[in-house]
Structure 1
Amino acid sequence: MKLNHIRINMLGEPKSPSSGGGNTPPDYDLQSRQLILPVESTTITTKEGKTAAVATNDHIKIVDENMQAYTVKEWNDRSVTNGFDNSLVAKPIGFRMQANDVDVLFRWPFTGKTWSCLGAASADNAMQHSLYEYDQRTSAGSGADYTCSQDANLGTNTVGSHRAADWEITDDGDSLTLYCGNTGQSWQMAKDCGNTNFMVAFNYDERCDAMIAQNEWMRHRFAICSGVKTTEPDGTITSVEILNASGKQPAVGEDMYFYVDGSNTTLKAKYNVNNRHAVESYYLTDEIAEFIYAKQKENGINMNDTGVNSVDKPLLVSGAKGAEAVAVGGFWYIITPYISRPNGTQTSYDYNVMDSPAVYYCKAVADGVRLPGDKEVFPLWTNKNIINGLMNYLRTYEGWTDDVPAYNSGSAWSCVRYSGYGAWYVNLGNGSCYRGSTYYRLSVWPVSAF
Structure 2
Amino acid sequence: MRHRGQGTGRKRVAKTTTAAPAPAPGSSRVVDTCSAVPGTSNSTATVSCRSVPDAPSQTSSSIQESTEDRFPTMEVSGSHSTRLLVSSVGAAWRRVLSPSDLELRQSPTDGDEVQFARDLGVSVKVLQELRSVCSEEAFLCPAEERVTSISTIPEDVDLLTFRLRKQYLNNNPAANYQGGRLEAKIDNMKREMELQYVGQLPEHPQHAVQQGEVLLAINVYYPIIKPRHKDTKPHQVFYALGCQRLTELRDAVSCIRDMQLSGEFSNTPNLAPDTTNKDLYKSAFFFIDGTFYNDMRYPSCRDLSKIIIEWAQIRDDTLAKACVKNMNDVTFGELRLKIGYPYLYCHQGNCEHIVIFKDIRLVNSSDCQDRSLYPLLMNKHFFKCHKCYMCKMYTARWVTNEDELAPVDPCFFCDMCFRMLHYDSEGKKLAEFFAFPFVDPGVFS
For this structure pair, what is the TM-score category when the shorter chain's length is used for normalisation?
under 0.3
Higher helix share goes to which structure?
2
Q: TM-score, normalised by structure 2?
A: 0.22
